[in-house]
């Protein structure tokens, strides 16, 4: 029997949120902290002790024994080191303590986390710094309760070593520049611009006992072998299908845990591939949304095990069925509640909306390569451009209505004037734009969906920090350029009109409303000069071009050193991942597949001899044996080749880029070659002998 849940009763009970802060802090301290959070002002450090003490009392009252600075190093997952709330005992008695210093700053050994060369130049020491804009929370599990303090992580000399720091910096950058535009349009009330993000998370759930029998899933998160099952996703019977009870129980426990953590888990459904599902929370400030997405992924993995399940967050766990992505819905809004990507009801608002829209179009076109780099993981290389996910080419879907408006502006009069108190932007009156006025386009990597953009490329396993901080920065950059121009304009309306028109004309090549999965589009995109970056290794260099360095330095989001370190970390991450995959393949091929195939060949040979000895026709057995043997031979050759290139790769000297290229061009290719005869053998060998669960079992056994 299920346990009844009342969402309002449990929502956020494990969070030191606004209500808790108000309750537990002296009023002046609460107000100071609020100012820091809302306006980004520096916290008066004399208040830290008071806040820390209140936080500790709240946590201890709830049963917490430990606290941890929770941070997001460049591994893509989160890190934590737990400390008990314990002061040096006096007279043998323990005293629970948590000081302001401990709240604000922590020390961690930066040398054990990826630093991409920053470590060689600087000391190993690293610091974690409290991010008071994302609330502290309690995490409960079977072992107890711990107070989690979201923090940023940097090196001894202040270089960002994490995913949070550039995100926070980029949010400030886009807020500053967007405010300049708003002021030009006469807005005097807004004080700050918020960035919102809502990340739809796709994932697979499979039986844990079967999972444990697959070394490839355990070591690499994806299947490296596996023949297609008789049934794939061709019947479209899984998408939005009724949710099986075991899965529903998992979802329920997940929701309850997330709600307690203040994560507004809202939508859940079965996805396209068998065993694939999705969870979407309600959008939030993009810093909190990023933290929450990490909590969602971590909770999914942990809670799956309570239900005898394993959660796979890899972008392509199974060849031949859809993989998983993460749709990052993104918008900008004022602190007094106006969504800047809402087309609005009046022409005046429309003009402002069109300025923001054009800025996004220009930003995405100019920096498409950097945006593409934020979606680059080894897993996503299997997904982008393979008829299930957006192509590797970045384009923007606007919908008929907006394209029509831009067309009018493009061909309309170049003058603009105020008429009857209404602003004309090249067209007499802009239509009252409504949300969902146009159809959707599921094949577009970057689609306008009514009052937000949906960036559909990000990888299911990755942090959404990258996509968000790049989007924030590129939009900040164009808004800066626009504001510089408009602030000096003699005739503001004419300048706005010209700016929208000229920008649209210069960047409309990025707009594409057709089928993004088609071959024709890839050719058309090439004619338009849009980059088509098909793999992670080719995607990384965009981070460190002079253009990129200037962009991120201009807005103080990342400096040259930090960008170089990120590129290094990415090359290394690619190399290490492919190396692990290759070694896992070698292990499975040598110790599981080859012995099974040889054993079965022996059995067939015995049958063949037995049948022949009776004088009966043994031609079928002969043919079968021959086919098995040919595949074993081919398999054996491919295995030897993979062993050789992997060994070569391990001995390679040279830059991390050149090593990544070698892994992509030789090791990865050798892996693909080995898989072919292995999957053919799976179809020939007796299933009782086959050494691990097949796709059919993994995908349909719940
Ligand atoms: P769909 O699958 O139809 O695209 P979902 O409901 O699954 O839509 O997810 C849409 C996501 O977009 C949700 O996380 C939602 O909260 C988020 N979202 C809605 N409005 C905004 C907005 N203005 N800014 C950012 N995200 C938004
Ligand atoms: Mg969805």
In tens, the pLDDT along 118-128 reads: 765 556 778 89
Q: Is 647 helix (H, G, I), strand (E, B) or coil?
A: helix
Q: Is the pLDDT of residue 627 over 50?
A: yes
Rounded Cα distance, 687 and 535, in Å: 36
For residue 633 the two structure tokens come to 């031979």
Q: Is the pLDDT of residue 115 over 70?
A: yes
Query: Pairing between strand 276-281 and 93-95?
Result: unpaired
Where is mean pLDDT largest: 337-346, 517-526, 645-654? 645-654
pLDDT band at 252 (very low <50, low <70, confident <90, very high): very high
The distance from CA 121 to its chain's CA centroid, rounded to whole angstroms, is: 30
Query: Is any atom of ligand 1 closer than 6 Å to the C-beta of 283?
Result: yes
Compute and round to an integer the Cα radius of gyration of the chain.
28
What's the pLDDT score for residue 601? 98
Rounded Cα distance, 359 and 499, in Å: 10
Query: Pairing between strand 326-334 and 193-207?
Result: antiparallel
Q: Is the pLDDT of residue 411 over 90?
A: no
Query: Is any atom of ligand 1 closer than 6 Å to the C-beta of 315?
Result: no
What's the pLDDT score for residue 379? 96
Helices then strands, each counted (H, E), the chain? 25, 19
Distance 275 CA to ligand 2 centre (A): 16
Among 244-253, 489-498, 588-597, name the one with the lowest average pLDDT: 489-498
Q: Is the pLDDT of residue 1 over 50?
A: yes
Give the predicted TM-score (pTM) of the model: 0.94
Where is mean pLDDT largest: 87-96, 184-193, 473-482? 473-482
Distance 120 CA to ligand 2 centre (A): 43
Query: Is any atom of ligand 1 closer than 6 Å to the C-beta of 271?
Result: no
- Pocket residue to mutate for ligand 1, from 281, 341, 452, most atoms within 8 A of Cβ: 452
Helix, strand, coil abundance in the chain, percent, nearest 5: 50, 15, 35
Which residues have a Cβ under 8 Å from the Cβ of 235 and sit 6 or more positions away? none
Cα–Cα distances in Å, from 126 out to 33, 148, 484? 25, 19, 38
Are the beta carbons of 372 and 424 closer than 8 angstroms? no
Distance 453 CA to ligand 1 centre (A): 9
Cα–Cα distances in Å, from 75 out to 89, 230, 574, 633? 37, 37, 12, 39
Residue with tokens 């990490």: 294
pLDDT band at 420 (very low <50, low <70, confident <90, very high): very low
Atom of ligand 1 nearest to the CA of 197: 25
Query: Is any atom of ligand 1 closer than 6 Å to the C-beta of 332?
Result: no
User: Which residues are registered as beta bridge partners of 332?
Assistant: 195
Task: Give the mean pLDDT of 217-226.
Answer: 98
Query: Is any atom of ligand 1 closer than 6 Å to the C-beta of 331?
Result: yes
Q: Is the pLDDT of residue 424 over 80?
A: no
* Nearest ligand to the C-alpha atom of residue 328: 1
What's the pLDDT score for residue 237? 82
What's the pLDDT score for residue 350? 82
Q: Is the dihedral of CA 88, 92, 97, 99 positive or negative?
A: negative
Are the beta carbons of 206 and 664 closer than 8 angstroms? no
Distance 236 CA to ligand 1 centre (A): 23
For residue 479 the two structure tokens come to 């808004």
Task: Give the mean pLDDT of 57-69.
Answer: 95
Query: Is any atom of ligand 1 closer than 6 Å to the C-beta of 280?
Result: yes
10 Å CB burial of residue 135 (0-12, 13-18, 19+) is buried
Nearest to 458 by CA among 506, 550, 389: 389
Are the beta carbons of 32 and 78 closer than 8 angstroms? no
For 260-302, how does the pLDDT look when each residue is reduced to its tens digit (9 = 90+)? 999 999 999 998 899 999 999 999 999 999 999 999 999 999 9
Nearest to 480 by CA among 382, 564, 554: 554
Percent of the residues in the chain that have a pLDDT greater than 90, as a whole number: 75
Q: Is 326 helix (H, G, I), strand (E, B) or coil?
A: strand
Rounded Cα distance, 154 and 73, in Å: 9
Q: Is 339 helix (H, G, I), strand (E, B) or coil?
A: strand
Are the beta carbons of 214 and 681 closer than 8 angstroms? no
Helix (H) or strand (E) holding 276: strand 276-281
pLDDT band at 416 (very low <50, low <70, confident <90, very high): very low
Rounded Cα distance, 279 and 269, in Å: 7
Rounded Cα distance, 678 and 217, in Å: 17
Query: Is any atom of ligand 1 closer than 6 Å to the C-beta of 198?
Result: yes
Query: Is any atom of ligand 1 closer than 6 Å to the C-beta of 452?
Result: yes
Instruction: Tally Cβ neighbours within 10 Å of residue 640.
Output: 13
User: Which residues are registered as beta bridge partners of 90?
Assistant: 93
For residue 324 the two structure tokens come to 């998983």
Rounded Cα distance, 33 and 43, in Å: 7
Distance 327 CA to ligand 1 centre (A): 9
Helix (H) or strand (E) holding 629: helix 619-651
Rounded Cα distance, 603 and 617, in Å: 17
Distance 268 CA to ligand 2 centre (A): 8
For residue 245 the two structure tokens come to 């009870």
Are the beta carbons of 204 and 654 closer than 8 angstroms? no
Among 211-215, 384-388, 448-452, name the one with the lowest average pLDDT: 384-388
Q: Is the pLDDT of residue 423 over 50?
A: no
Nearest to 354 by CA among 292, 285, 302, 426: 426
Beta strands in 72-228 (DSSP E): 79-84, 87-90, 93-95, 105-109, 125-130, 137-141, 144-155, 193-207
Q: Is the pLDDT of residue 675 over 60?
A: yes
pLDDT band at 148 (very low <50, low <70, confident <90, very high): very high
Cα–Cα distances in Å, from 659 out to 284, 536, 578? 39, 13, 11
Q: Is the pLDDT of residue 517 over 60?
A: yes
Atom of ligand 1 nearest to the CA of 333: 23
Residue with tokens 């088609």: 518
HEC letters along 561-590: HHHHHHHHHHHHHHHHHHHHHHHHHHHHHH
Task: Give the mean pLDDT of 353-370.
Answer: 97
Query: Is any atom of ligand 1 closer than 6 Å to the C-beta of 196?
Result: yes
Rounded Cα distance, 293 and 296, in Å: 5
Cα–Cα distances in Å, from 401 out to 85, 427, 449, 513? 58, 14, 12, 11
For 530-553, how does the pLDDT look when each residue is reduced to its tens digit (9 = 90+)? 999 999 999 999 999 999 999 999
Which residues have a Cβ under 8 Å from the Cβ of 317 and sit 6 or more positions away? 204, 217, 221, 222, 223, 323, 324
What's the pLDDT score for residue 511? 97
Task: Give the mean pLDDT of 181-204.
Answer: 96
What's the pLDDT score for residue 438? 57
Q: DSSP class of residue 431?
A: -
pLDDT band at 355 (very low <50, low <70, confident <90, very high): very high
- Pocket residue to mutate for ligand 1, from 266, 288, 290, 329, most atoms within 8 A of Cβ: 329
Q: Is 285 helix (H, G, I), strand (E, B) or coil?
A: strand
- Pocket residue to mutate for ligand 1, from 171, 196, 198, 284, most atoms within 8 A of Cβ: 198
Atom of ligand 1 nearest to the CA of 451: 23
What DSSP letter does each residue of 675-698 carry, written as one string? Answer: HHHHHHHHHHS-TTT-SS--HHHH
pLDDT band at 390 (very low <50, low <70, confident <90, very high): confident
What's the pLDDT score for residue 265? 96
Q: Is the pLDDT of residue 433 over 70?
A: no
Query: Is any atom of ligand 1 closer than 6 Å to the C-beta of 339?
Result: yes
Nearest to 118 by CA among 654, 563, 585: 563
Query: Is any atom of ligand 1 closer than 6 Å to the C-beta of 282?
Result: yes
Among 16-30, 152-166, 320-334, 358-372, name the one with the lowest average pLDDT: 152-166
Q: Is the pLDDT of residue 152 over 70?
A: yes
Task: Give the mean pLDDT of 422-433.
Answer: 48
Percent of the residues in the chain that have a pLDDT greater than 70, as a whole number: 94
Q: Whose C-alpha lies nearest to ligand 1, atom 24?
A: 331
pLDDT band at 415 (very low <50, low <70, confident <90, very high): very low
Rounded Cα distance, 384 and 571, in Å: 19
Q: Is 452 helix (H, G, I), strand (E, B) or coil?
A: coil
Q: Is the pLDDT of residue 318 over 70?
A: yes
Distance 196 CA to ligand 1 centre (A): 10
Quote the mean pLDDT of the chain. 91
What's the pLDDT score for residue 494? 87
* Nearest ligand to the C-alpha atom of residue 277: 2
Rounded Cα distance, 42 and 13, in Å: 28
Counting every residue written for the chain, the total comes to 702
Which residues have a Cβ under 8 Å from the Cβ of 255 and sit 6 or more positions away? 265, 268
Higher pLDDT, 102 or 359: 359
What's the pLDDT score for residue 617? 95
pLDDT band at 431 (very low <50, low <70, confident <90, very high): low
Among 401-405, 493-497, 565-569, name the one with the lowest average pLDDT: 401-405
Q: Is the pLDDT of residue 388 over 90?
A: no
Instruction: Tell me how far apart the terminal alpha carbons of the chain are, to the nearest angstrom.
Output: 20
What DSSP letter does each residue of 415-429 carry, written as one string? Answer: ---EETTEE-SSSSS
Rounded Cα distance, 115 and 449, in Å: 37
Task: Give the mean pLDDT of 628-657.
Answer: 97
Q: Is 111 helix (H, G, I), strand (E, B) or coil?
A: helix
């Amino acid at each position: 029997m299920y346990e009844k849940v009342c969402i309002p009763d449990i929502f956020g009970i494990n969070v030191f949120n606004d209500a808790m802060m108000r309750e537990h802090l002296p009023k002046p301290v609460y107000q100071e902290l609020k100012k820091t959070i809302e306006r980004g002002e520096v916290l008066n450090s004399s208040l830290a002790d008071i806040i820390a003490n209140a936080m500790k009392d709240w946590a201890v009252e709830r049963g917490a024994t430990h606290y941890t600075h929770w941070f997001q190093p460049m591994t893509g997952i989160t890190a934590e080191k737990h400390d008990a709330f314990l002061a040096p005992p006096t007279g043998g008695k323990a005293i629970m303590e948590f000081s302001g210093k401990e709240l604000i700053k922590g020390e961690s050994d930066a040398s054990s986390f990826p630093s991409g060369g920053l470590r060689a130049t600087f000391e190993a020491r690293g610091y974690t710094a409290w991010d008071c804009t994302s609330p502290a929370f309690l995490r409960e599990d079977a072992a107890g309760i711990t107070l989690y303090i979201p923090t940023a992580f940097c090196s001894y000399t202040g270089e960002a070593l994490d995913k949070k720091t550039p995100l926070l910096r980029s949010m400030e950058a886009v807020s500053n520049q967007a405010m300049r535009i708003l002021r030009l349009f006469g807005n005097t009330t807004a004080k700050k611009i918020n960035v919102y993000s809502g990340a739809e998370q796709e994932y697979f759930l499979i039986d844990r006992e079967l999972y444990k029998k697959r070394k490839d899933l355990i070591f690499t998160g994806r299947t490296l072998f596996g023949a297609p099952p008789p049934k794939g996703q061709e019947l479209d019977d899984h998408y939005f299908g009724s949710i099986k009870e075991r899965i529903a129980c998992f979802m329920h426990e997940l929701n309850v845990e997330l709600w307690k953590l203040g994560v507004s888990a809202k939508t859940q459904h079965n996805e396209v591939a068998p065993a694939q599902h999705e969870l979407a929370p309600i959008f939030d400030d993009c810093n909190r949304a990023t933290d929450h997405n990490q909590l969602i992924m971590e909770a999914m993995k942990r809670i799956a095990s309570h239900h005898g399940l394993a959660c796979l967050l890899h972008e392509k766990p199974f060849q031949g069925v859809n993989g998983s992505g993460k749709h990052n819905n993104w918008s900008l809004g004022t602190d007094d509640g106006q969504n800047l990507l809402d087309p609005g009801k009046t022409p005046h608002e429309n003009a402002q909306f069109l300025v923001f829209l054009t800025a996004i179009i220009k930003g995405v076109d100019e920096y498409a390569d950097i945006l593409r780099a934020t979606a680059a993981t080894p897993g996503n290389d299997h997904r982008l451009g393979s008829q299930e996910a957006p192509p590797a080419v970045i384009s923007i879907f606007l919908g008929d209505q907006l394209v029509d408006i831009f067309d009018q502006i493009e061909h309309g009069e170049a003058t603009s004037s105020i008429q009857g108190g209404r602003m004309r932007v090249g067209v007499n009156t802009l239509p009252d734009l409504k949300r969902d006025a146009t159809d959707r386009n599921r094949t577009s990597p970057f689609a306008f969906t009514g009052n937000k953009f949906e960036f559909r490329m990000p990888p299911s396993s990755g942090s959404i920090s990258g996509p968000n901080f790049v989007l924030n920065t590129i939009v900040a950059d164009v808004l800066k350029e626009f504001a510089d121009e408009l602030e000096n304009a003699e005739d503001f309306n004419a300048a706005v009109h010209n700016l929208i028109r000229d920008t649209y004309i210069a960047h409309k090549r990025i707009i594409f409303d057709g089928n993004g999965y088609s071959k024709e589009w890839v050719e058309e995109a090439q004619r338009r000069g849009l980059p088509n970056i098909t793999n992670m290794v080719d995607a990384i260099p965009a981070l460190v071009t002079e253009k990129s360095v200037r962009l991120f330095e201009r807005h103080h989001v990342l400096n040259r050193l930090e960008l170089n370190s990120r590129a290094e970390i990415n090359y290394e991450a690619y190399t290490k991942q492919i190396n692990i995959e290759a070694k896992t393949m070698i292990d499975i091929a040598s110790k599981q597949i080859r012995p099974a195939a040889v054993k079965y060949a022996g059995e067939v040979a015995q049958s063949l001899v037995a049948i022949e000895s009776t004088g009966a026709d043994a031609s079928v057995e002969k043919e079968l044996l021959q086919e098995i043997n040919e595949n074993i031979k081919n398999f054996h050759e491919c295995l030897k080749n993979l062993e050789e290139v992997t060994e070569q790769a391990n001995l390679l000297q040279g830059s991390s880029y050149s090593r990544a290229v070698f892994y992509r061009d030789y090791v990865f290719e050798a892996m693909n070659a080995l898989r072919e005869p292995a999957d053919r053998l799976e179809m020939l060998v007796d299933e009782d002998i086959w050494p691990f669960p097949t796709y059919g079992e993994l995908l349909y056994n719940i």
